[in-house]
Structures are given as structure tokens and as C-alpha cells.
Amino acid sequence: MKALVHEEKTGTKGLSYREIAELEPNAGEVRVKLKTAGLNHRDIYTLQRHKPTDPPLIIGSDGAGVIDAVGDGVSDIQVGDEVLINPGLGWKEKSDAPPQGFEILGLPFHGTFAEHVVIPAENVVQKPQYLTWEEAGVLSLAALTAYRALFTRGQVQSGMKVLIPGIGSGVATFLLQFAKASGATVYVTSRSEEKCRKAVELGADKAIDSNGDWHEALGGEKMDLVIESVGAATFNKSLDQLRLGGTMVTFGASAGDVVQLNIRNFFYGQFNLLGSTMGSTEEHREMVQFIEKHQIRPIMDHMYPLSQFEQAFERMEKAAQLGKIGFHIR
Amino acid sequence: MKALVHEEKTGTKGLSYREIAELEPNAGEVRVKLKTAGLNHRDIYTLQRHKPTDPPLIIGSDGAGVIDAVGDGVSDIQVGDEVLINPGLGWKEKSDAPPQGFEILGLPFHGTFAEHVVIPAENVVQKPQYLTWEEAGVLSLAALTAYRALFTRGQVQSGMKVLIPGIGSGVATFLLQFAKASGATVYVTSRSEEKCRKAVELGADKAIDSNGDWHEALGGEKMDLVIESVGAATFNKSLDQLRLGGTMVTFGASAGDVVQLNIRNFFYGQFNLLGSTMGSTEEHREMVQFIEKHQIRPIMDHMYPLSQFEQAFERMEKAAQLGKIGFHIR
């Protein structure tokens, strides 16, 4: 089969779209013939973390397609089922943190940027009928991350004021949709006027310039909840927007890992800073129920054929997208 | 009456033990003839925050004594009642954060380092009979801070592993006692061998050198809960001891306000960082019930006559104490 394979060199230079051996499902596993796949920031990190000396790896975490082989002992899934993939391996129930051995599809195990992927049967979910193949293929990683950050960790409630700095990413657009569907008032920031404009179209109550004075732009409104995934570039500006006793959930640091934190301001503010990443199978199931109930569709940025992976990675590295970037497979 | 008054100069240089006019209780207030008072780090900050151009101020937050005058409309407290003082003004029920207008006795309002103090009737509590006057006078601020940090914020449970860096302070010794009474396994740190030894006598399961390698000293044990009040000197060492999904409560920064925080490590760890400070009247009531139930007594470091305030402040500024420093009044 054809697949996007990483080998020999760190970064995108190590990627090639080439033939690689087909895999067969073992007991408890299924094989999915993929129709679409979704690109995530994680895939960029994978190209740094997967070593040139490691065996060749098919990257990619998100995807959707049709079951075309079923391993022994799998009873509730049949060949022909239309499914989307939950890429979290080995984290079943909602908990403080993933258990030992938790992995995400695409490193160290072969991922979804291929004609087929073999995964545990518990990692496929029936595709909601109202979603297109494109929407189903880009959903899981970002929507699950957003779901855990906003609901399990942030405990969003109707009427809360929620700030989402950096509205471009796939996760951020899900956060906006999920928070609005929950009845929150939602503020977003972006460096791009175009993204601010689109965010308001998508339901944001206010969209402000990331580079400006946030206090002024928000008219002094303080936030119950900030969901921060930009990192160092906005971390302290985000924290400054919290009301006393407010909560900031952090799950990303694409714009820098290390920040200066003033502890005294933090404890006088009685703030809560909560780290989050991915989510469990239980949260994935809840997330799919939530989007079906509210008929939420991923915001689609652009779909590429898998052979044009270079353009897709470049678009994400420049943070040019609003919403999800995905691949058509064959 | 005689009182410890701050005026004209910043810091301890502005302190004098001198005559100042007596106060009378207004409606809803009571006057307490103080027998003892307790010294807190807050009193040191007050000497920095109370400006030389402000009117003279009687400092001090903690105290215990006998009611000797009652304002109009006060029905449940009588002259002769033996009471201790809750220094939190205007924060009634347990909540995310204190309401607008919350203050702590001793700035901007006259405090307890005096023969008498006038306060709202809701701020006195009947002295538990098993406590000495010395113990009752040093209790409130530190024990309330410890109570909110450990229970309301940290949600300590029996069987948890709890780390308390910097075991010297009054709050830290309450944390140790409260956590042990709750059935937790408690680890403490100190730079002083003597304090480590005493902490083990007081019930700590293990006491380690603050300057050493904590991972090694703790044998790789990870903590469910860290209650961090030292500040910059230990903040990141403390965070490193958390188990995945663990919680660190922070309420102090005597050893530095600003730290470098690695956001990526924080969110991959799914950590919780919770700011805390003081507590409400409701939490003060719960705290007094808790110490009565468990017959907990404050760890007493040293009592001074109020006229020897300079020695008391010096001892706290050098962090030489283990437990509470207090004053006998007359």
C-alpha cells in the first residue's frame, strides 16, 4: 500500500510517500481502509521525536474509513462499518492522567497517513452520519483535546466568560464551537484580522488582536475560564485576564515552552492552572455524543491529496490555517 | 492603652511600643481585652505596605482575650466571654476567592498588638477550652491559611502522599498536623537538621534536606499533593515531585516571587497548580471544629512580651522558628 513514511532524516526531509508492506489485524484488532486523515501539530513533533535510526514509521493520528478486516474476538464491529478513529491507545476511563503505557497512534505505532491502518477494535467509533468523510477524518485528536480541556478540566458552564487565545488551530476552533454550544460567552484572540473576522462568523462574541492591549480590547471584562494553548507568547497575558478565583487550562506551547510566573500574583488571585493533554476513550465517546447532539462540524481549512503532504505541513508550520487541515487518501 | 504602633518610617524602624487612644465598639462590634497575640509573616509585609504618610497604625492580626465591651445589636457575645480572633474581615462563605472589600485585621484597620482591639462581633470565636491563651492567640491566621490550602483547595484525603516544603513556619507546622490527622502520609523539607528532627517528632513520616536531591531523598516516591509556600527557592523542585495528575497548592513566596515555569512539562504532567490565601469565616469555623475534634495544639516556638517586639521580628525574618511566635500582652 501507499503511505507517508518517515525515516532516516529528522523533520519533513525524512518524509516520503511510498509503497510499504500491508498489515493484518491480530486478535482484538481491526483494519480500516482509510478515506481521509487529519493533520495535527503532533505530527510535526513526531518528525522531531522519531529518530533517524528507528525503523521506518507511518505517521498520522486521525482518520476515517471503512472496516475491511477484523481480527479474532472482535464481535461488535463488522467489515463494511463506516468508522472514525480515536488515536488514544490504552487510556480507557476518565482520570487525572493517562495510565502507564498510554500512547497516541502514529508514534511509536504506525498511523493513519496510509491506505490502511491496523488498530485495537476499541479505537474505532461508528461515524456520525451527518459528518462528511472529510469532517470525520480530521475530528478526533483536536476535538478530544478540546473536550477534555474545556469540560473535564475547565468545567465550563452556561453563562461563563471564556477566553480562547490563538483561534487558528483545529483545537481552538473546536473550543469555540463547544463553548458556544455550552452557553458560554466566548472571546478569542488572533494576530490575523482575517481569522478574527471568521471567528466572529463562527459565533465568537468578540475577537481581539493578540498583539494589542487585551484589557482595553476586552473593556476590562475578566474571564471565568481561559483555555490557553499558544504558550509563552500569550501565557501571562492570558493569566492577567482571569477573574479572582478563575481557571486557566493549558495544553499547548507551540509559541514557546518556558514562561516567568509571578507566584505571589497567582496565589493572591486564587487562580487555578490546570494542565491537560488528549483524553480517554470515555471522553472521546462523550465528545462524539456532544457533537452529534449539537450537530457540530469541524471547521475545515483545506484538504490535500496525501501526495501533497509538503504543502499541508508548510501551511501548519506557518500557522496559516483556520480550522483543520486534512488529507484525501486515494 | 499601650500598643505596637507603626508610623513615619517603612519597616521595623517605624515601630514603637507606645501609648495610643483607646477605641470604643460601634454597633455590631465588640472590644477584646487581649491576653496574647500572634506574629505572622503578614506583619512583616505590613511594615512595607503601610506608608510613612499614612496615619499611625496598630499592627497585628492574631490574638485572644476576654470581651470587655459590646456594641449595640450584638446578642450572642457577652462581656467576660473568652474568645480568639478571626482576622478575616468581610469574607463570610467558602468561595473561589474573597469578595470585593475583603481585608485582614492589622492593615488598614488597627490590629491586635495592643491592650485592646475593636472588631466585628462575627470575628470572635469562643476559645476552645483545651487551648492555652498562648495557643489561642497564635492560632487563626496560620491555621486558617493551612486549612483552606489543604482541605478546600488541596482536597486532602486519607492515604494521600503529601509534601510540605519548608517546615519551619507556623502555617507549615499546622499543615503537618492537619495532614497527619487526615490520614495522609506526610513528607517535609527543611534546610535545618534540627527542624527536620523536630518535624519527625511531630509526626512527619520523612523529613529531608531542602538543599539536597529530593528525588533521591524521597526514594522516587511521587506526591499526590504538594503544599508549597516557600516560593522561588523550592517551587520547581516541588512541582517535580508531583505524580501525573497531581496537585500543588501555593500560598506563599517568602523566598522569591518569580519562577520559570515549563508549560509543556506542566501540561504533559496534567498537573494542577492552585493559588490560595487566607480563608472565609466558614472555613475558620470548620478549622476550629477540626482542631477541637483532633485536639490539635499549635506548635509554639517562642513567646515574647510585646515590648520585646524587635527580637520577635528578628527571629521571624531569619526564619529561625519552628512553629508560632507570639506575644504576651501585659
For residue A313, give Cα distances in angstroms to A212, A302, A322. Answer: 29, 12, 14
Print pLDDT tens along chain B (330 aa): 999 999 999 999 999 999 999 989 999 999 999 999 999 999 999 999 999 999 999 999 999 999 999 999 999 999 999 999 999 999 999 999 999 999 999 999 999 999 999 999 999 999 999 999 999 999 999 999 999 999 999 999 999 999 999 998 899 999 999 999 999 999 999 999 999 999 999 999 999 999 999 999 999 999 999 999 999 999 999 999 999 999 999 999 888 899 999 999 999 999 999 999 999 999 999 999 999 999 999 999 999 999 999 999 999 999 899 999 999 997
Question: Domain range holding A12?
Answer: 2-139+298-328
Q: Assess whether pLDDT exceeds 90 at residue A230.
A: yes
Do residues B112 and B60 make contact, with C-beta atoms less than 8 angstroms apart? Answer: yes
**Are B162 and B176 in the same domain?**
yes
Do residues B239 and B248 make contact, with C-beta atoms less than 8 angstroms apart? Answer: yes
Do residues A163 and A188 make contact, with C-beta atoms less than 8 angstroms apart? Answer: yes
Any domain includes B101: yes
Q: Assess whether pLDDT exceeds 80 at residue A330.
A: no
Sign of CA dihedral B128, B131, B133, B137: negative
**Are B222 and B319 in the same domain?**
no
Any domain includes A125: yes
Strands B300-305 and B324-328: parallel
Residues of B with CB below 8 A from A149's CB? none
The reply to whether residue B257 touches residue A263, judged by beta carbons under 8 angstroms, is yes
Residue type (1 letter), A176: L
**Are A200 and A305 in the same domain?**
no
Q: Which of B231, B264, B274 sits opposite A257 (nearest CB)?
A: B264
Do residues A77 and A121 make contact, with C-beta atoms less than 8 angstroms apart? Answer: yes
Do residues A209 and A190 make contact, with C-beta atoms less than 8 angstroms apart? Answer: yes
The reply to whether residue B277 touches residue A267, judged by beta carbons under 8 angstroms, is yes
Determine which of A142-151, A191-200, A253-262, B88-97 has the lowest per-residue pLDDT on average: A253-262
Half-sphere exposure of A178 (CA within 13 A, CB side): 31
| Domain CATH code at residue A229 | 3.40.50.720
- How sure is the predictor about A254, in pLDDT bands with cuts at 50, 70 and 90? confident
Any domain includes A88: yes
Dihedral of the CA atoms A281, A285, A290, A291 (nearest 10)? 90
The reply to whether residue B277 touches residue A257, judged by beta carbons under 8 angstroms, is no
| pLDDT digits 0-9 by tens, A49-94 | 999 999 999 999 999 999 999 999 999 999 999 999 999 999 999 9
How many domains are contained in chain B?
2
**Are B50 and B72 in the same domain?**
yes
**Are B120 and B170 in the same domain?**
no
**Are A87 and A9 in the same domain?**
yes
**Are B111 and B60 in the same domain?**
yes
ipTM attached to this prediction: 0.94
**Are A125 and A219 in the same domain?**
no
Any domain includes B285: no
Three-class SS of residue A133? Answer: helix
Report the pLDDT value the prediction gives residue B255, as an integer from 0 to 100.
81
| Domain CATH code at residue A34 | 3.90.180.10
Any domain includes B284: no
Q: Which of A246, A258, A276 sits opposite B260 (nearest CB)?
A: A258
Three-class SS of residue B185? Answer: strand
- How sure is the predictor about A256, in pLDDT bands with cuts at 50, 70 and 90? confident
**Which spans in chain A are helix H?**
41-49, 133-137, 140-147, 170-181, 193-201, 214-217, 235-240, 263-268, 281-294, 309-317
**Are A304 and A255 in the same domain?**
no
Any domain includes A282: no
**Are A135 and A240 in the same domain?**
no
Report the pLDDT value the prediction gives residue B42, as an integer from 0 to 100.
94
Residues of A with CB below 8 A from B97's CB? 243-245, 269-270
Any domain includes A243: yes
Residue type (1 letter), B316: M
User: Which of B270, B272, B276, B277 is the best residue to mutate to test the A interface, defined by the most A CB atoms within 10 Å of its own CB?
Assistant: B270
User: Which of B261, B262, B272 is the best residue to mutate to test the A interface, defined by the most A CB atoms within 10 Å of its own CB?
Assistant: B261
> DSSP character for A122?
G
Give the three cell numbers for residue B47: 511594615
**Are B242 and B303 in the same domain?**
no
Residues of A with CB below 8 A from B264's CB? 231, 253, 257
Q: Rounded mean pLDDT of chain A? A: 97
- How sure is the predictor about A255, in pLDDT bands with cuts at 50, 70 and 90? confident
Any domain includes B283: no
**Are A92 and A24 in the same domain?**
yes
